Amino acid sequence: MIDVSLVIPLLNEAESLPELCDWIVRVCTAEKLSYEILLLDDGSTDNSWDVIQQLGEKNTNIKGIRMRRNYGKSGALNIGFEAAQGEVVITMDADLQDSPDEIPALRDMIINDGYHVVSGWKQKRYDPISKTLPTKLFNWATRKMSDIELNDFNCGLKAYKKEVVKNIEVYGEMHRYIPVIAKWGGFPKIGEKVVQHQSRKYGKSKFGMDRFINGFLDLLSLYFMSKFGKRPMHFFGLLGVLSFFLGFLMAAWIVCDKMLHVYFWHTRSPLVTSSPLFYFGLLAMVIGTQLFLAGFLGELVSRSNPERNRYDVKETVN
């Protein structure tokens, strides 16, 4: 059994890889931990793959996986999770901003403290305010929506029990929400550890400001799929019924008002189509019908999904 697997996605990090791997090997050797280092080359255009091959020839514990093109960090992590064999899986970035000195303590929290996931918290960051301020807002929104009390969801330095990474799927740009995915997947014990953050030594960041917009949209998508992925009618159907009912009330009010004017008050009433309420009611009923049909179609798609009745069983007693 391998004690720890280091899963490291990378893009154009040739300069930092030798130093990073030497650092990891030094820490694991000092702690007498059996290890494997999985370097996931996510479509690098520099000589990162050549460096990985050279490192693998020198140390058989260093393994490389080269993606055919750039799929993004989530895709690389998902491949790394599939390949990892360690009892504890630790992810970190390849830019030397995550310290391998944290490996023993992170592993100890998984093995001895019983955590399913331990997320790093870069309490003191060496990033400009244009990056730290949006990160704080992003973390606040994620805490409120997921009900997980973490200060830094986006920290790349995280530790996982092997069982966790083998039972979750990371896609799109969902790497930011792995603790959320783990919790909703039945692994609720999630901890946090303050970790050292180092300034970037080589190259430049591969992420721009658009990651915060994409991250928020991904959070909404993840929340919806976790709540209504297997029962879309409960979401779209409910909104559709409410919208249609509201429109029906508007139409009923217009009809009642017309009848009161004509049959009881014997006065001339304005045309139904001259009332703005008529168009609001018609619009509400049309939207309600469309939402209900969307829920119905979602149910049909869900029913045809071969994994519609897949539920993970933790353990059984004979």
For residue range 28-61, list pLDDT tens digits in order. Answer: 999 999 999 999 999 999 999 999 999 999 999 9
Q: Is the pLDDT of residue 295 over 90?
A: no
Q: What is the pLDDT of residue 4?
A: 96
pLDDT greater at residue 178 or residue 215 = 178
pLDDT at residue 317, as a whole number: 62
> Regarding predicted confidence, which is higher, 188 or 231?
188
Residues whose CB falls within 8 Å of the CB of residue 233, separated by 6 or more in sequence, listed in order? 295, 296, 298, 299
pLDDT tier, 260 (very low <50, low <70, confident <90, very high otherwise): confident
Kindly report which listed range (60-64, 125-129, 136-140, 290-294) carries the lowest average pLDDT score: 125-129
Higher pLDDT, 315 or 162: 162
Residue 130's pLDDT is: 60
Q: How far apart are the C-alpha atoms of 268 and 270, rounded to whole Å?
A: 7
Q: Is the pLDDT of residue 181 over 90?
A: no
**Which candidate, 73, 53, 256, 220, places its Cα nearest to that of 154?**
73
Count the neighbouring beta carbons within 10 Å of the beta carbon of residue 44. Answer: 19
Report the pLDDT value the prediction gives residue 149, as an integer from 0 to 100.
Answer: 86
| pTM check: above 0.85 | no
The confidence score (pLDDT) of residue 235 equals 82
Do residues 287 and 161 lie in contact, with contact meaning Cβ atoms separated by under 8 Å?
Answer: no
Report the pLDDT value the prediction gives residue 137, as an integer from 0 to 100: 79
Residue 212, pLDDT score: 62
Domain 2-228 part of CATH 3.90.550.10:
yes
The Cα 64–Cα 73 span in angstroms is 15
Element (H, E) at 190: strand 190-194
Q: Which residues of 13-25 are buried (b: 16+ CB within 10 A; e: fewer)?
A: bbbbbeebbebbb
pLDDT band at 204 (very low <50, low <70, confident <90, very high): low
Q: pLDDT category, 198, cuts 50, 70, 90?
A: confident
